[in-house]
Amino acid sequence: MKKLMGFVGFLLVAALFAGCSTGPSKQYTITGEYISVEPDPAFVAPEPEPAEEADDESSSDDQESVATEGDAEQADEELAMDLSMAKVVVTQEITTDDGESEAKEIASGSFSDGQFVLNGEIEEPTEVELSVEIGEDDPLTTKAMLGPGAEVSFALIEYQDARSPRLSLYGESRRAMDPGKKYSISGDLSAIDADLSTAVVSVSGPTWDEEGKEVYTTFGSTMLRDGKFSIEADVDEPVVVGISLNAGSTYYSGQAVVEPKTEFTVSPYGSSTTLLVTSGTGLHAELIESWQSADYLEAMEAYSLASAAYRAEMDAAREAAQSGESDEANDAEEAVETSTDEAEAEEATILALADGIPQVEECEHVDLSDVKPGIMDGPAIEPSPARKELDDRWETMSKIRDSALEGIAESATDPFVALIALELGAFGYFSDNRDQAIRIYDQLAPKLDEDIVARRLTPERERLVAAIEIEDNDKGLVPGQKAPEFTLPDLSGADVALYDVVADRDLVLVDFWASWCGPCIATFPHLKKFYSAFNDDGFEIIAISIDSTHEAWADASEEHELPWMNLGEIVESNGEIANAYGVQFIPKGYLLDTKGCVIQKDLQYENLQEVLVARYGDDPLLHESEDGAESSPTDPDSDDDVGGEKSI
């Protein structure tokens, strides 16, 4: 009996030991694949560097031949990625004892025959960075979630043209860490008529940091695998996310209201570039699927077809313009009509300024009959039939969507549902009834959690109020009005007051710009000519950068060598001075006289030059080409003096 009990005891201990040693697997697997992509005919490579002059001892033909062969060999070498030198590194961000963040290597490995496999163990779900290091080039990186039982796949893409290689998750992005907060979005997009071989799907939306500040975040991104994808992530509360498919020149997008423990399916619809997102349950079904009726889908497809027709019309017009073939009679008739339209538009602009907004007493001396049309005051252009069809189809879609969302925002019994309806665009900025959004925000505020109000309601309400205020300021600050006073720092930190400058100068152009604004930078060569020609006569420029960082402002100022007064209102958004001047777009300029009165607004450089020449006279500097050679603005047979005397 004792022997039997001893044997049973042995079995129990053995079973207990076996149970302890066979817990959940801690192993993970990372696989990678090298993919070479053929050249894209639509891709436009950067302009090559100018070739050096040929050696006198060699013929030009020989030089060209050698250069061509050398360039081809160099290109082949650059495009041939040496995977034998590639190292894949997995790192985790940790915090040191000093409170600093640093990357800690978890594992690493190499490719073999274009494939990568790495197995390892990890205790708990951890966000990691995958990087591929090849020679001395900067590593390619992407984010992933590793955890017990995880299987992560990535693709290393090399393009056989001038496009840079990239690293992407392949087929799946699983970054959820908490089953109670997880949502998943998946789809089969293989029916899309486009090259999806390296297409990437991303899911992005708002999150909030510890201070409650909104941060736009990518929840997951992955390359399609056989046209399919799956993205999993965590979310603390319902939010609106954007789902995008980027396939080179083809771009598709959709929206979803994600919340914990929800699943979504993404699919294409007809020829539309809008992705349909379905769930069948929750807030998404209530706020989006509810109005995606058969009528809406029909309108969406009609809009897609109209868009294709309009693009074809634009392409044909572009080709005709490039060919240089035109009917001279039609051109002449069109020129007369355009001239008439421009004259009528200019007269209408002047009348609107004179009759709609009375001049302030200090600016009654401003002659409104001399006001030139601004950038936004051009003649109305009758849309082509294809464009009109496109606009009509868009309006049909918008009415269905807006009517549904506005109804939900007005009548939802759940204040959170009403808030998300507003976030989806109910009574949005371009709505004729956008004031209703402010009223609804104010009604919802006492019904929602204070944290939600602080993070999501109040900032959106303030943005809408500011946008309306900026638009009103833009409409009100016209020739015949006093420019708002301001004091702003220059790059050295010294403050400059507007009215100190205008009191000392004859004319001052206040010009809003930013380092990222291409059209702004395109005006600099013209403004430099005006400044050189007329600064001694009393013309001054005050440039105001609205960059979000001092570094961006300083770097762009140095790069473009701005010679005039260069001030900055460096804030993240909605700067007080920019708001006061109604800055809805840039470049935006106001020409002020010595009393601070606006005499011109938003002039294109041709009209600004006309105003300055009329005031100060012509100047040879205005007619210098880029290489410094002078070109006459007058008829070559004319005896008129180009320079002339300047008068004030």
The arithmetic mean of pLDDT across residues 474-487, rounded, is 94
Q: Are 120 and 107 in contact (CB under 8 A)?
A: yes
Burial class of residue 473 (count of CB atoms within 10 Å of its CB; 0-12, 13-18, 19+) = middle
**Distances in whole angstroms, Cα of residue 476 to Cα of each of 249, 356, 359, 581, 607:** 41, 9, 11, 9, 21
Nearest to 477 by CA among 393, 610, 599: 599
The arithmetic mean of pLDDT across residues 347-373, rounded, is 74
Nearest to 261 by CA among 187, 202, 184: 184
Q: How many Cβ atoms from other residues are within 10 Å of residue 640's Cβ?
A: 10
Q: How many domains does the chain have?
A: 2
> pLDDT-derived band of residue 622, with 50, 70 and 90 as boundaries?
confident
- What mean pLDDT value characterizes the chain? 83
Res. 329: pLDDT tops 50: no
Res. 631: pLDDT tops 60: no
* 96 lies in some domain: yes
The arithmetic mean of pLDDT across residues 102-109, rounded, is 91
**Distances in whole angstroms, Cα of residue 590 to Cα of each of 322, 342, 617:** 36, 21, 21
Q: What is the pLDDT of residues 244-269, one digit of tens each?
A: 999 887 899 999 999 999 999 999 99
> pLDDT-derived band of residue 324, with 50, 70 and 90 as boundaries?
low
**Distances in whole angstroms, Cα of residue 610 to Cα of each of 108, 372, 555, 605, 618:** 66, 9, 32, 9, 9
Q: Are 520 and 514 in contact (CB under 8 A)?
A: yes
Q: What is the pLDDT of residues 362-416, one digit of tens each?
A: 999 999 988 888 766 655 668 889 999 999 999 999 999 999 999 999 999 999 9
Q: CA angle 209-245-152, nearest 5°?
A: 70
* 339 lies in some domain: no
- At a CB cut-off of 8 Å and minimum separation 6, what does 251 contact? 244, 245, 273
> pLDDT-derived band of residue 336, with 50, 70 and 90 as boundaries?
very low
CATH number at 567 reads 3.40.30.10
Q: Which range of residues forms the domain containing residue 251?
A: 83-277
Question: Which pLDDT score is estimated for 24?
Answer: 61
Question: Which pLDDT score is estimated for 236?
Answer: 93
Res. 447: pLDDT tops 60: yes
- Write down the pTM of the prediction: 0.77
Question: What is the side-by-side strand order in the sheet with 276-278?
Answer: 172-174, 228-234, 182-188, 262-267, 276-278
**Distances in whole angstroms, Cα of residue 153 to Cα of each of 10, 225, 464, 474, 620:** 45, 10, 43, 52, 65
The arithmetic mean of pLDDT across residues 525-544, rounded, is 94
First to last CA, the chain: 124
Q: Are 202 and 220 in contact (CB under 8 A)?
A: yes
* 646 lies in some domain: no
Q: How many Cβ atoms from other residues are within 10 Å of residue 260's Cβ?
A: 17
Residue 281 CA to residue 262 CA, distance in Å, equals 8
* 257 lies in some domain: yes
Tokens of 160: 């056989």
* Whole-number CA gyration radius for the chain: 32
What is the percentage of the chain residues whose pLDDT exceeds 90?
Answer: 61
Residue 583 CA to residue 473 CA, distance in Å, equals 8
Res. 330: pLDDT tops 90: no
Residue 95 pairs in a beta bridge with 101
CATH number at 230 reads 2.60.40.1120
245, 277, 309: which is the final residue of a domain?
Answer: 277
Residue 481 CA to residue 501 CA, distance in Å, equals 18
The arithmetic mean of pLDDT across residues 117-132, rounded, is 92
Helix axes 385-411, 435-444, angle to 10 degrees: 20
Nearest to 415 by CA among 449, 385, 365, 382: 449
Q: What is the pLDDT of residues 454-477, one digit of tens each?
A: 999 999 999 999 999 999 999 999
Q: What is the pLDDT of residues 547-556, one digit of tens each?
A: 999 999 999 9
Q: CA angle 311-312-318, nearest 5°?
A: 90
Question: Which pLDDT score is estimated for 617?
Answer: 87
260, 277, 294: which is the final residue of a domain?
Answer: 277
Res. 46: pLDDT tops 90: no
* 628 lies in some domain: no
Kindly tell me the sign of the dihedral angle through the C-alpha atoms of 139, 141, 147, 153: negative
* 292 lies in some domain: no
Nearest to 219 by CA among 264, 258, 165: 258
